[in-house]
Structure 1
Amino acid sequence: MLALQSSLFDTADSPTLGDLERRHRRFLDETAWLDLVPGWACGSDQVLDTLLHEVPWRAERRQMYDSVVDVPRLTCFYGEGESLPHPLLTDMRERLSQHYAAELGEPFVTAGLCLYRHGEDSVAWHGDRIGRSRDQDTMVAIVSLGSARHLALRPRDGGRSQRVALGHGDLVVMGGACQRTWDHAVPKTSAAVGPRVSIQFRVAGVR
């Protein structure tokens, strides 16, 4: 397995969360935005190890044209009220809910986990538009643990794509109309990369 390159912001010896006030908001257009906090989850190497080895990861399959193929990543979903696999994830969800309470109007309640085992694992272009997010603005907060990968974004109706590099412990929050009017993806890479876990926090009724 490749060695993990920790974030330059990761100077903690034990798991801790940084200051959400140092977020940088980047507008994709007039109605969609990203908040970025590099190295928000500090000292999280042990958290990553716990997730890699103790989460009940599922391999899914899907119909593609005339064949049924493996989904190129492993997943696990924690619904509202379910215990999360590490206390730091519970702290993440509570801190995010508190910080965005006035703007979001409701707490984050679910956690979807994806394991990208290597550079061949990916997720295709999509928006989180199952449920209320099909026609309502919402937020999806993603914490990235492990090897650095790119989050790609492009307007749903066509246009130039852009990429955000997400490293170990980085936080990105997609807000406004981002899920309705933009698509996002994690592309495959030919680079020699190790595992990455993506933790997605969502509100009720959104997938």
Structure 2
Amino acid sequence: MTSADARYALQASLFDDATGGVELGELGPTVQRRTLTVGAWVDVRPGWMTGSEELFTTLADSVPWRAERRQMYDRVVDVPRLVRFYGENESLPDPLLVAAREALSTHYQPEMGERFVTSGLCFYRDGSDSVAWHGDDTGRSRTEDTLVAILSLGTARPLLLRPRGGGPSIRYSLGHGDLLVMGGSCQRTWEHCVPKSSRLLGPRISVQFRTRGVR
């Protein structure tokens, strides 16, 4: 499915009112924190971006998406999603992403002492696209507390979290402008995934904002 196909397959949320354009809501007291184990935590802000379907369409059509391949045992397989990473010195593909990154930095810098500087985009075209259990633990987050913020656009998909090594999982349904932030030790002590689904699902774009030295 191409990005143009995905645009027409997307079904807007009844709660994502675009009549006033695309807007970011407040953070502050609207953010709901859940304390996990061993210093990890998760913040959730449902519907942080209203009118987000407009941004979804822009990104689906304009981002130079890349299909990756990886070694899996004795063969090379397609990564089941499209990706694009924007480093510290790269311009983001839409001013709304710049505004979101700055708003997140302003909110979390007093607590964490640093700002968000990179952005990774993942395009889940349908239910067969996914990401396996993992932590963003390449770099500083292997030994330090860090932040990863995820802005979800398009169709809601489950994002699961579980303690590293296994255990009961926590489930969030994220889409249509929802925000989830993983902080503290989360990347080294917990794992997260977006599982495959046999259901007929529309497309989703995940925008991950990260602090310096985290992948």
When the two structures are superposed, what TM-score results if normalisation uses the length of structure 1? Answer: 0.96
51, 71, 90: which one aligns with 2:79: 71
1:2 match:
9
Distance 1:3-1:55 versus aligned 2 partners, 3 A rule: closer
Post-superposition Cα deviations, 1:134-153, rounded to whole Å, max 9, x if no partner, equal 01011100000000101011
Correspondence 1:1-207 to 2 at 5 A: 1-6=8-13, 8=15, 10=17, 13-21=20-28, 22-207=30-215
Task: Tell me which amino acid in the other structure corresponds to 1:60.
Answer: E
Rounded Cα–Cα distance in structure 2 between residues aligned with 1:12 and 1:161: 37
1:193 deviation in Å? 1.0
1:11 deviation in Å? 5.8
**Bigger mean CA offset, 126-135 vs 22-31:** 22-31
Secondary structure of 1:164 counterpart: strand
Rounded Cα–Cα distance in structure 2 between residues aligned with 1:176 and 1:7: 34
Secondary structure of 2:9 counterpart: coil
1:160 deviation in Å? 1.0
Task: Tell me which amino acid in the other structure corresponds to 1:16.
Answer: E
Conserved 8 A contact 1:7-1:39: no
- Aligned residue pairs total 207
1:48 deviation in Å? 0.6
Post-superposition Cα deviations, 1:79-103, rounded to whole Å, max 9, x if no partner, equal 0021111110000000000000111
1:3 deviation in Å? 3.9
1:167 deviation in Å? 2.0
Conserved 8 A contact 1:25-1:35: yes
Task: Tell me which amino acid in the other structure corresponds to 1:20.
Answer: L
Post-superposition Cα deviations, 1:64-113, rounded to whole Å, max 9, x if no partner, equal 01000000000000000211111100000000000001111111000000
Conserved 8 A contact 1:114-1:199: yes
Rounded Cα–Cα distance in structure 2 between residues aligned with 1:73 and 1:9: 24
Distance 1:174-1:10 versus aligned 2 partners, 3 A rule: farther
Distance 1:7-1:105 versus aligned 2 partners, 3 A rule: farther
1:10 deviation in Å? 3.9
Task: Tell me which amino acid in the other structure corresponds to 2:156.
Answer: A
**Bigger mean CA offset, 152-161 vs 119-128:** 152-161
Q: Percent identity?
A: 61
1:192 deviation in Å? 1.3
Task: Tell me which amino acid in the other structure corresponds to 1:185.
Answer: C
Rounded Cα–Cα distance in structure 1 between residues aligned with 2:14 and 2:89: 31
Rounded Cα–Cα distance in structure 1 between residues aligned with 2:10 and 2:33: 31
Conserved 8 A contact 1:143-1:200: yes
Conserved 8 A contact 1:149-1:166: yes
Task: Tell me which amino acid in the other structure corresponds to 1:33.
Answer: W
